[in-house]
Amino acid sequence: MMTCSSLAAPASSAPIRGALAVLLLLALGLAPGGCLAESTDSTDSGVISATRIRASGEAVVVVAPDRAWVDLAIVTRDVEASRAVEANAGESKRVTTALGKALGQGAEISSGGYSLAPNYKYITGQGQRLDGFIVRNRLRVTLEDVTAAGRVIDAASEAGASEIQQVSYGLADDAPAQRQALADATRSGVERAGVMAKAIDMQVIRVLSVEDSGAAPAPIVREVRMLAKSAGPSSAPPTTLSPGGIRVHASVTVYVEVGP
């Protein structure tokens, strides 16, 4: 530590004394270790600067799905567009009615898209020729009972649906699973930082920051891609599907301060 002694100026010249005093104070304040600021040599005092470690943490939470979606389509063809549209409307009504009876409450049937398009066929030596029109009415069935997906497939197939496209499973609210995965990933990152600190004979002093790299569920999709059975009851055993669990992944980056 540096100390300073006061300097006296001759009493005969007050203005000069004032000026010299100001200059002296400025000089002392700007000089390293001057009276206005005390400094401590970290080497002399034995203080060792802490260092920083960065670590990543990851976690996966598996939860049971509570929603299922079945995508299907009613497809009609005719040489005239109006007749194709009319036929599709009748078949779509038959399918939705059958689904409503099979599923009861807790199921939602919504439109997944509708299209009317010309259909062409290639004739050797003549090129493409118009071969009528195709109407495709896509439906999505949303289920609160995930075990009912098989019943949707069977009911739609027996009622005359042309295509069963896919079945997917997910969560109505994935926030709780995301929070759990994020918390687990953070704990994992701090633990990994502690392991690295211990390897260099140090320990974690405090966590400086945590960066979230995201936590999102991965929906389960079952590609069905099958043509439905002919309309009418079937003696085949009921369709059963096993959804499995929804995997929610989270990753973080943790910065910690370590020292001896």
- Could you list the beta-strand ranges (E) of 2-126: 51-63, 67-78, 107-123
CA separation for the pair 140, 109 (Å, rounded): 6
CA separation for the pair 7, 28 (Å, rounded): 12
Q: What percent of the chain is helix, strand and coil (3-state, nearest 5)? A: 30, 40, 30
Taking the CA atoms of 80, 86, 88 and 90 in sequence, report the sign of the dihedral they define: negative
Domain ranges, ordered by start, for the chain: 1-47, 51-62+175-216+251-259, 65-172+218-244
| Strand arrangement, sheet containing 246-259 | 51-63, 246-259, 203-218
CA separation for the pair 194, 50 (Å, rounded): 14
What is this structure's pTM? 0.66
Helix (H, G, I), strand (E, B) or coil at 47: coil
CA separation for the pair 236, 104 (Å, rounded): 22
Written as tens digits, the pLDDT of the chain (260 aa) is 444 444 444 444 455 455 444 444 444 444 343 333 333 334 343 344 568 999 999 999 999 999 999 999 999 999 999 999 999 999 999 999 999 888 866 678 999 899 999 988 888 877 788 889 999 999 999 998 888 888 899 999 899 898 988 899 999 898 899 999 999 999 999 999 999 999 999 999 999 999 987 666 665 665 554 444 444 455 567 788 888 888 999 999 999 999 98
Which class in CATH covers the domain with range 65-172+218-244? alpha beta
